């Protein structure tokens, strides 16, 4: 993935700072609780939500099980409709393809629709190196880009910023990118949106090339689908002469009809609306309407490695709604940046380590960034059992095992950092499988209880006792009491 | 990598990854579609009412009239908006505009540029259909709707929906009536953003004002 | 009906009173309850931390310890969820790795017989009024695995509402995790603590002096925060409340504070 995320600290260290940032926690709490409540209302309107969820899950599973078939069908349909299909194995491959396509147009600037896939591959940075300016046009992405910041949420990437911070960013940075912000700009959202409208309109009107992602690609028809709210998507998908869409291969769905499921589940899970303001669908090119040239770049970048894992595979069902972020108690306190990737929250904790591998301290810490409370699984519109995948990835890190990297099967070794834990787990498992040893351990704990301090040394123990007292060990274990209790149950008062 | 090797390699990786699958012939018939086709039984009038309610809920302005009242309604909306010039696609019936004296009308035949349209106040179109349960109108670039750019650049969109013919209840009813080969624009209320503190603001890039006129049959004026 | 108590390792060592309360309660309801001493731990800490292989002997141990009982009752939603949800999963994975070793049978014979306490009371014994008396105001925190994995829904609250003298106050944000999460509490201590403090804050807004739960591991985390800050709120396991009667009222365990 992108160099933007190289060298970031592991999740616990980043989250430690976030939990101390009162402003950030207030922003996140407000945002996640607001949208969480709205989503629940939107879902409650549909009495057949469980059936829609089951159908969406089945469609995605079916597609993934036959992904080779549907990708070839998609390629044929897009080509027949006047588009050109490219295949990219990884980020470098995709960035090179897009750069070459833009160079061929002779242009040095592009407008962009918010796209997770292009963030994942670090396209903007790659284009900048090639002398091409990429302008983000989604309001939140614009805020992030102007502020030289990183997105912190899939749906609302600038949610960590409040209105005053956004006003300051516009004031300070808009002029360097184009039309400056008005001098008397207030921090009212309406005024800020107006400033963005004026700033971006000149870019839309002169743009010759646009780069987008897509929410869905329909194999049978070659149709691309983009859902959005602001109209910046329509601008990019309609006005330029050349459109380049970079889309993960897992965004394929088989048939036009399948949209009837996802156009019900995605908006309600994402923005908590019955339907988002704008959805654009296009199939290749249309004479006299919209771009004359359409390129589709199909992106692997770790997706086939994810597909090879029969437990982790379900991650590829994800439709990027971000409902899991908004119910996640860990995301709410840690914030999106702590996840060190464009994919924060529960889905990021399972997607990033599968796409990037678990070789860095950050990526190896992500599967542990969860209490396994299960709120994410409950709201997921395609029923990704995120806790199941988290535990599965923890096993890969702690114990190693078979995996697939860059299309090659490999057996990875247990992570070094977990050696002490591994030894402790092995010892505990042995003790617990030998009741006499377990009883002896318990007896030792109860007999020495008077000596137990409230705070104890050692990294793991002090992680508990820095903020919490240890429980007091009682004088007798339960089994001790049971073995010595009076035979008549009536006497067994507490 | 060269183009062909990347393609072959991705497909090779997919097939290797799916080494565990039992068969390789896709059968989409196995997908359970036990969800509802519509979420209630409605009369055509109830569907039109629901469409109106849901459009209004997402801040579109909804107006009800019948065929004879349509020109006056359009003229009234143009005047209210302070429209000096408007654009229409080639297939808009002439009588829709029969009361718009004083407003300069551009008829698009594919030549108007984005910069020209940026100076136009209003666009007036029909639609392919409307979906009651979601409060959505769908445009499919038919002659009464025109190129996508027409309904995008001007800041005010007046969209005419014929009821009951163009109204369906639900998404499962809408998709079979649409042609995927046509570029489609699905519109549910005006342009909006919630990117700043989740505070909803209408209007960023698309039309900030959306007027939807529901035209009832001649016998049923509203 | 042969009923076995699975007390759980946490309760056995740290919260024996909860185990005694379950025995008292079930015997009061006419259930002959046994405690097979071969039991130790369900393996949840190992499994959830990524040590699936270390969990397998404990699956066998659990199956052997509870062989022959009609019902296995445990005062822990997350341990019940471990057996019901993850034992079959562990068996499936072992099978795909070509070394079942009887795990499938062990999982299949234990998962359907394992009940969390409130499920056993409401669904099997068919009682919601267990004859308890507890003259205090209480708020209830539903732990995540009981709430979502087992789907306990309103069973615990129905049981509490039937307790004489008890006033139940709704906990704001009840369905949010308390931040324990097993090894999460030490691997991500800052987020864990922040979540725990928010849970305590919500509990304090109810004005109830007692926070009741059905999982002592979550209560251990919350109680640890409370005691560090000398916060005037006590955690009490649901079983302790249900076991309490006028004749034998609940008494707080030593050193963790007094109710009256």
Per-residue model confidence as pLDDT tens digits over A264-319: 999 999 999 999 999 999 999 999 999 999 999 999 999 999 999 999 999 999 99
Q: What SS3 class is residue C224? A: helix
What's the pLDDT at A3?
Answer: 57
- pTM for the structure as a whole: 0.95
Q: How far apart are CA B5 and CA B13, in angstroms?
A: 12
Q: Give C-chain residues touching A482 at CB under 8 angstroms.
A: 19, 23, 35, 37
Hey, how many other C-beta atoms are within 10 angstroms of the C-beta on A398? 26
A224 versus B219: the higher-pLDDT residue is: A224
Q: Which two tokens stand for residue A152?
A: 């912190």
Query: B41 CB near a chain A CB, below 8 Å?
Result: no
Q: Give A-chain residues touching B109 at CB under 8 angstroms.
A: none
Smallest Cβ–Cβ distance between A254 and the set B28, B36, B176 belongs to B28
Query: C9 CB near a chain A CB, below 8 Å?
Result: yes
What's the pLDDT at A451?
Answer: 78
Smallest Cβ–Cβ distance between B195 and the set A30, A55, A158 belongs to A158
Residue B1: which pLDDT band, with cuts at 50, 70 and 90? Answer: low
Q: Which two tokens stand for residue A119?
A: 């963030």
The answer on pLDDT for B221 being more than 50 is no
Query: A137 CB near a chain B CB, below 8 Å?
Result: yes
**Average pLDDT, integer, range C138-156:** 96
Chains that touch C (3 or more CB pairs under 8 A): A
- List residues bridging with A433 in a β-sheet: none
Whether B147 sits inside 8 A of A289 (CB atoms) is yes
Helices (H), A45-136: 49-65, 67-80, 91-105, 116-120, 123-129
Instruction: From residue C90, give the alpha-carbon distance in Å to each of A270, A335, A388.
Output: 33, 33, 11
β-pairing verdict for A408-412 and A401-405: antiparallel
**Average pLDDT, integer, range C37-48:** 96
Q: Which residue of B has its CA nearest to A28?
A: B197
Cβ-count burial of B170 within 10 angstroms (0-12 exposed, 13-18 middle, 19+ buried)?
buried
Cα-to-chain-centroid distance, residue C231: 23
Sheet arrangement for strand C137-141: C167-169, C137-141, C210-213, C234-237
Whether A492 sits inside 8 A of C24 (CB atoms) is yes
For chain B, what percentages of helix, strand and coil (3-state, to nearest 5) are there?
30, 25, 50
Please name the residues in contact with A240: beta carbons below 8 A apart, sequence gap of 6 or more.
A111, A207, A208, A209, A210, A291
Could you give phi then psi for residue C34, rounded to 5 degrees? -115, 160
Query: A391 CB near a chain B CB, below 8 Å?
Result: no
Instruction: Please state the length of chain C.
Output: 260
The answer on pLDDT for C260 being more than 80 is no
Q: How close B52 comes to chain A (CA, Å)?
A: 14
Q: What is the pLDDT of residues A356-382, one digit of tens each?
A: 999 999 999 999 999 999 999 999 999
Q: Give B-chain residues touching A34 at CB under 8 angstroms.
A: 198
Q: Give A-chain residues touching B9 at CB under 8 angstroms.
A: 87, 89, 407
Q: What SS3 class is residue B136? A: strand
The answer on pLDDT for B124 being more than 90 is yes
Q: How close A434 comes to chain B (CA, Å)?
A: 38
Q: Which two tokens stand for residue A318?
A: 């994800």
Residue B25: which pLDDT band, with cuts at 50, 70 and 90? Answer: confident
Query: B192 CB near a chain A CB, below 8 Å?
Result: yes
Any idea what DSSP says for residue C122? I
Whether B204 sits inside 8 A of A231 (CB atoms) is yes
User: What burial letters (b/e) apply to B127-162, b meaning 16+ CB within 10 Å?
Assistant: bbbbbbbbbbbbbbbeebbbbbbbbbbbbbbbbbbb
The answer on pLDDT for C256 being more than 60 is no
Exposure on the CB side of residue A120, measured as CA atoms within 13 A: 27
Query: C92 CB near a chain A CB, below 8 Å?
Result: no
Helices (H), A207-308: 232-238, 259-270, 303-307
Q: How far apart are CA B197 and CA A52, in angstroms?
A: 30
Instruction: From residue A323, give the alpha-carbon distance in Å to each of A238, A270, A341, A346, C166.
Output: 29, 6, 17, 10, 37
Cα-to-chain-centroid distance, residue A386: 12
Q: How far apart are CA A294 and CA A285, in angstroms?
A: 6
Q: Which residue of B has its CA nearest to A164?
A: B196
Contact C11, C18 (CB under 8 A): yes
Helices (H), A121-162: 123-129, 139-146
Q: How far apart are CA A346 and CA C95, in angstroms?
A: 28
Q: How far apart are CA C121 and CA B186, in angstroms?
A: 53
The residue ranges of chain A whose pLDDT is under 50 are 1, 489-494
C 223-252 residues with CB < 8 A to A: 223-225, 227-228, 243, 248, 250-251
Q: Give A-chain residues touching B199 at CB under 8 angstroms.
A: 163, 189
Residue B2: which pLDDT band, with cuts at 50, 70 and 90? Answer: low
Query: B22 CB near a chain A CB, below 8 Å?
Result: no
The answer on pLDDT for B4 being more than 80 is no
What's the pLDDT at B22?
Answer: 67
Whether A193 sits inside 8 A of B204 (CB atoms) is yes
Return the biggest CA–CA distance within chain B: 70
What's the pLDDT at C258?
Answer: 35
Chosen from B25, B27, B28 to mutate, greatest number of chain A CBs within 10 A: B28
H or E segment to which residue A209 belongs: strand A209-212
Q: Which two tokens stand for residue B151?
A: 């309904």
Instruction: Please state the length of chain B.
Output: 222
Instruction: From residue A22, give the alpha-carbon distance in Å to each of A17, A27, C190.
Output: 10, 9, 14
Q: How close A163 comes to chain C (CA, Å)?
A: 25
For chain A, what percentages of helix, strand and coil (3-state, to nearest 5) are there?
55, 10, 30
Hey, how many other C-beta atoms are within 10 angstroms of the C-beta on B197? 18
Query: C43 CB near a chain A CB, below 8 Å?
Result: yes
Query: A458 CB near a chain B CB, below 8 Å?
Result: no
Q: How far apart are CA A453 and CA A457, in angstroms?
A: 10
What's the pLDDT at B218?
Answer: 67
Q: How far apart are CA B184 and CA C122, in angstroms?
A: 54
């Amino acid at each position: 993935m992108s160099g933007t995320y190289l060298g970031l600290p592991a999740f616990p260290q980043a989250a430690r700072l976030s939990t101390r940032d009162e402003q950030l926690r207030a922003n996140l709490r407000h945002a996640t609780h607001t949208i969480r409540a709205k989503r629940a209302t939107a879902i409650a309107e549909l009495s057949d939500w469980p059936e829609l969820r089951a159908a969406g899950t089945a469609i995605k599973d079916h597609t993934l099980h036959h992904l080779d078939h549907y990708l070839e069908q998609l390629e044929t349909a897009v080509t027949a409709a006047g588009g050109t299909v490219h295949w990219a194995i990884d980020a470098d491959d995709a960035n090179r393809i897009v750069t070459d396509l833009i160079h061929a147009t002779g242009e040095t600037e592009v407008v962009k629709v918010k796209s997770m896939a292009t963030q994942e591959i670090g396209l903007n940075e790659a284009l900048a190196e090639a002398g091409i300016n990429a302008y983000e046009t989604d309001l939140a992405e614009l805020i992030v880009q102007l502020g030289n910041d990183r997105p912190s949420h899939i749906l609302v990437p600038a949610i960590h910023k409040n209105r005053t911070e956004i006003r300051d960013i516009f004031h300070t940075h808009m002029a360097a990118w184009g039309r400056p912000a008005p001098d008397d700009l207030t921090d009212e959202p309406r005024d800020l949106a107006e400033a963005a409208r004026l700033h971006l309109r000149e870019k839309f009107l002169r743009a010759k090339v646009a780069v987008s992602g897509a929410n869905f690609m329909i194999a049978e028809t070659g149709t691309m689908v983009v859902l959005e709210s602001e109209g910046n998507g329509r601008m990019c998908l309609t006005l330029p002469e050349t459109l380049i869409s970079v889309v993960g291969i897992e965004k394929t769905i088989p048939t036009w009809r399948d949209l009837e499921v996802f156009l019900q589940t995605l908006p309600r899970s994402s923005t908590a609306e019955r339907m988002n303001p704008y959805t654009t669908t296009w199939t290749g090119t249309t004479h006299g309407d919209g771009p004359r040239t359409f390129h589709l770049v199909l992106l692997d970048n770790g997706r086939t490695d994810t597909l090879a894992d029969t437990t982790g595979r379900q991650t590829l069902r994800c439709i990027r709604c971000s409902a899991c972020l908004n119910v996640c108690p860990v995301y709410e306190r840690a914030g999106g940046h702590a996840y060190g990737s464009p994919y924060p929250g529960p889905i990021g904790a399972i997607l990033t380590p599968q796409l990037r591998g678990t070789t860095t301290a950050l990526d190896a810490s992500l599967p542990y960034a969860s209490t396994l409370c299960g709120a994410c699984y409950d709201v997921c519109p395609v029923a990704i059992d995120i806790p199941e995948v988290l535990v599965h990835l923890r096993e890969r890190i702690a114990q190693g095992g078979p995996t697939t990297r860059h299309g090659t099967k490999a057996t990875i070794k247990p992570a070094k950092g977990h050696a002490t834990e591994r030894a402790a787990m092995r010892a505990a498992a042995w003790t617990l499988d030998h009741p006499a040893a377990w009883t002896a351990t318990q007896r030792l704990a109860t007999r020495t209880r008077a000596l137990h301090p409230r705070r104890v040394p050692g990294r793991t123990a002090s992680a508990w006792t820095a903020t919490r007292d240890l429980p007091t060990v009682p004088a007798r274990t339960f089994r001790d009491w049971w073995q010595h209790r009076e035979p008549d149950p009536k006497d067994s008062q507490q | 990598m060269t183009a062909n090797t990347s393609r072959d390699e991705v497909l090779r990786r997919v097939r290797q990854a799916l080494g565990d699958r039992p068969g390789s012939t896709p059968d989409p018939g196995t997908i359970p579609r036990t969800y509802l086709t519509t979420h209630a039984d409605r009369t055509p009038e109830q569907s039109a009412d629901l469409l109106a309610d849901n459009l209004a809920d997402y801040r579109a302005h909804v107006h009800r009239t019948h065929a004879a009242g349509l020109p006056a309604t359009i003229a009234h909306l143009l005047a209210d908006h302070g429209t000096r010039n408007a654009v229409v696609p080639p297939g808009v019936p002439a009588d829709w505009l029969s009361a718009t004296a004083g407003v300069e009308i551009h008829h698009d035949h594919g030549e108007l540029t984005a910069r020209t349209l940026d100076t136009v106040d209003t666009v007036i179109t029909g639609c392919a259909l409307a979906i009651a349960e979601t409060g959505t109108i769908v445009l499919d670039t038919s002659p009464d709707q025109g190129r996508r750019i027409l309904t995008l650049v001007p800041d005010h969109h007046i969209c005419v929906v014929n009821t009951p013919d163009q109204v369906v209840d639900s998404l499962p009813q809408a998709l079979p009536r649409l042609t995927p080969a046509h570029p489609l624009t699905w519109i549910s209320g005006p342009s909006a953003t919630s990117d700043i503190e989740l505070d909803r603001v209408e209007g960023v890039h698309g039309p900030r004002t959306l007027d939807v006129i529901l035209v009832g049959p001649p016998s049923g004026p509203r | 009906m042969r009923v076995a108590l699975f007390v759980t390792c946490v309760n056995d060592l740290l919260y024996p009173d909860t185990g005694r309360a379950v025995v008292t309660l079930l015997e009061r309801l006419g259930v002959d309850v046994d405690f097979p001493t071969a039991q130790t731990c369900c393996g949840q800490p190992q499994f959830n931390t990524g040590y699936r292989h270390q969990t397998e002997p404990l699956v066998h141990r659990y199956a052997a310890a509870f062989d022959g009982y009609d019902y296995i009752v445990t005062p822990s939603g997350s341990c019940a969820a471990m057996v019901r949800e993850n034992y079959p999963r562990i068996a499936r994975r072992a099978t795909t790795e070509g070394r079942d070793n009887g795990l499938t049978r062990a999982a299949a014979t234990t998962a359907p017989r394992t009940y969390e306490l409130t499920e056993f009371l409401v669904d099997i014994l068919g009682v919601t009024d267990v004859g308890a008396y507890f003259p205090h105001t209480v708020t209830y925190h539903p732990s995540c695995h009981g709430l979502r994995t087992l789907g306990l829904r309103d069973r615990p609250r129905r049981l509490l509402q039937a307790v004489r003298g008890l006033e139940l106050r709704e906990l704001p944000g009840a369905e949010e995790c308390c931040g324990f999460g097993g090894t999460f509490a030490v691997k991500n201590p800052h987020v864990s603590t922040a979540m725990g403090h928010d849970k305590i804050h919500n509990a304090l807004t109810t004005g109830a002096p007692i926070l009741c739960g059905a999982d002592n591991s979550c209560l251990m985390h919350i109680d640890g925060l409370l005691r560090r800050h000398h916060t005037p709120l006590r955690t009490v396991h649901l079983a302790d409340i249900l076991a309490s009667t006028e004749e034998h009222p609940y008494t707080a365990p030593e050193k963790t504070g007094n109710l009256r």
